[in-house]
């Protein structure tokens, strides 16, 4: 279809837009999709007879800004946030479904670049977009549902942490929060931080199926905030030893330059989509994971160096 990508979605209409998106999302290498885009629903593999499923929304001005992130960035971020939730269950992702609400004056180019971002992130873990919806709205909102399968494995829940377990994390922490601060102060660098805010890089390969974790969670709101859910669900105290939290160079430099607190970014910064997990034995912690604390008995709480931590992380409505 030869067309002018500067056309708006209102000009080309819903059905031609869907055809263009479907073309852009096509990935013939994906074996687990029996029915993809183009029917009332998709049909996807669910080995083991159970499906793992989650849904996240991202809204313009809250989760992304069009002047800070490209359409490709936003597509990747929307996919990554949901894929991380599948891996955090000890499951393997199988597919994404995507809803996109956009104003009529949005360009076709923007929508297709968004689809490219979705496809790129999804194909990095061997999945594709199998369905969804595109509708009109006053501002952009995005909804992604990710599906996964467990095969013969049991899901790794938030509720499985036991006193005596070790606590470990995989992936970057605090990078997205630091990057957001840079952007909000009008800077576009350092790229490693700003880029981490635009497109998180969950360490998918470290949350692989077969992980011997007793509990696991995707860190989306902040380490302390998300571990509070593990503490409550498992009825334990989760102890973070801040001396075990390595402060990487980009964070310490940025903290120095911006009078920030790198440790605070690591403890409370959201949207990195790192993983935190508990293991009954330190020997079960695979390479790539870093032990940063332990689990003990007591009323549910998260303690940093033995003390409750003041900041409670991101609240969508109170922030």
Among the listed residues 129, 130, 124, 95, the one whose alpha carbon sits nearest the alpha carbon of residue 114: 129
Q: Using alpha carbons only, give the angle 293, 294, 295 rounded to the nearest 5 degrees.
A: 145
Residues paired with 215 in a beta bridge = 278
- Joined together, the tokens standing for residue 291 give 């032990």
User: Taking CB under 8 A as the criterion, which residues in 243-302 touch a copy of itself?
Assistant: none
198 φψ region: left (φ > 0), alpha (ψ -120 to 50), beta (else): alpha
Site for a copy of itself contains 131 (CB under 8 A): yes
Site for a copy of itself contains 139 (CB under 8 A): yes
Residue 98 is inside which H or E element, if any? strand 92-102
Query: Closer to a copy of itself at the Cβ: 80 or 255?
Result: 80
Peptide bond into 190 cis (omega under 30): yes
Query: For the chain, first and last CA: distance in Å?
Result: 45
Helix (H, G, I), strand (E, B) or coil at 138: coil
Helix (H, G, I), strand (E, B) or coil at 6: coil
Stretch that binds a copy of itself, among 80-88, 173-181, 241-249, 291-299 (CB under 8 A): 80-88
Query: Closer to a copy of itself at the Cβ: 109 or 192?
Result: 109
Site for a copy of itself contains 308 (CB under 8 A): no
The CA radius of gyration of the chain, in Å to the nearest whole number, is: 20
67 φψ region: left (φ > 0), alpha (ψ -120 to 50), beta (else): alpha
Within a 10 A sphere around the Cβ of 34, how many other Cβ atoms?
10
Stretch that binds a copy of itself, among 147-155, 178-186, 190-198, 251-259 (CB under 8 A): 147-155
* Among the listed residues 218, 293, 294, 302, the single contact to a copy of itself using CB under 8 A: 218
Cα–Cα distance measured from residue 100 to residue 165, given in angstroms and rounded to the nearest whole number? 41
Site for a copy of itself contains 227 (CB under 8 A): no
* Among the listed residues 1, 13, 243, 307, the single contact to a copy of itself using CB under 8 A: 13
* Among the listed residues 117, 132, 203, 250, the single contact to a copy of itself using CB under 8 A: 132
Query: Closer to a copy of itself at the Cβ: 97 or 285?
Result: 97
Query: Closer to a copy of itself at the Cβ: 12 or 196?
Result: 12
Stretch that binds a copy of itself, among 52-60, 64-72, 163-171, 172-180 (CB under 8 A): 52-60
Orientation angle between helical segments 191-198 and 175-184, nearest 10 degrees? 100
Site for a copy of itself contains 305 (CB under 8 A): no
* Among the listed residues 157, 237, 277, 302, the single contact to a copy of itself using CB under 8 A: 157
Among the listed residues 61, 126, 62, 56, the one whose alpha carbon sits nearest the alpha carbon of residue 95: 126
Cα–Cα distance measured from residue 48 to residue 317, given in angstroms and rounded to the nearest whole number? 38
Site for a copy of itself contains 6 (CB under 8 A): no
x/- mask, a copy of itself, residues 81-110, rule CB under 8 A, reads: ---xxx-xx-x--xx-xxxxx--x------
Please state the closest distance from residue 283 (CB atom) to a copy of itself, in A: 25
* Among the listed residues 3, 4, 5, 133, the single contact to a copy of itself using CB under 8 A: 133
Query: Closer to a copy of itself at the Cβ: 62 or 282?
Result: 62
User: Taking CB under 8 A as the criterion, which residues in 14-33 touch a copy of itself?
Assistant: 14-15, 17
């Amino acid at each position: 279809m030869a067309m002018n990508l500067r056309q708006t979605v209102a000009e080309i209409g819903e059905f031609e837009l869907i055809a263009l998106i479907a073309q852009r999302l096509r990935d013939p290498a994906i074996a687990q999709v029996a029915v993809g885009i183009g029917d009332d629903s998709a049909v996807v593999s669910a080995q083991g007879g159970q499906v793992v499923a989650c849904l996240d929304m991202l809204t313009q001005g809250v989760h992304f800004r069009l002047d800070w992130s490209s359409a490709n960035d936003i597509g990747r971020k929307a996919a990554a946030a949901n894929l991380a939730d599948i891996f955090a269950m000890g499951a393997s992702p199988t597919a994404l479904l995507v809803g996109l609400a956009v104003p009529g004056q949005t360009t076709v180019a923007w929508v297709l670049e968004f689809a490219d971002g979705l496809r790129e992130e999804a194909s990095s873990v061997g999945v594709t977009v199998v369905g969804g919806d595109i509708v009109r709205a006053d501002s952009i909102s995005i909804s992604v549902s990710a599906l996964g399968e467990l095969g013969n494995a049991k899901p790794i829940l938030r509720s499985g942490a036991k006193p005596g377990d070790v606590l470990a994390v995989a992936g970057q922490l605090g990078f997205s929060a630091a990057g957001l601060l840079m952007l909000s102060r009008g800077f576009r660098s350092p790229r490693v931080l700003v880029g981490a805010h635009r497109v998180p890089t969950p360490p998918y390969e470290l949350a692989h199926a077969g992980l011997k974790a007793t509990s696991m969670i995707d860190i989306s709101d902040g380490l302390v905030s998300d571990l509070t859910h593990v503490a409550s669900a498992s009825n334990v105290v989760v102890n973070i030893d801040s001396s075990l939290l390595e402060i990487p160079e980009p964070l310490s430099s940025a903290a120095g330059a911006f009078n920030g607190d790198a440790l605070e970014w690591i403890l409370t910064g959201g949207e990195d989509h790192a993983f935190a997990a508990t293991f009954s034995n330190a020997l079960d912690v695979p390479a790539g994971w870093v032990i940063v604390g332990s689990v003990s008995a007591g009323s549910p709480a998260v303690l940093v160096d033995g003390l409750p931590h003041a900041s409670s992380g991101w609240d969508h409505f109170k922030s």
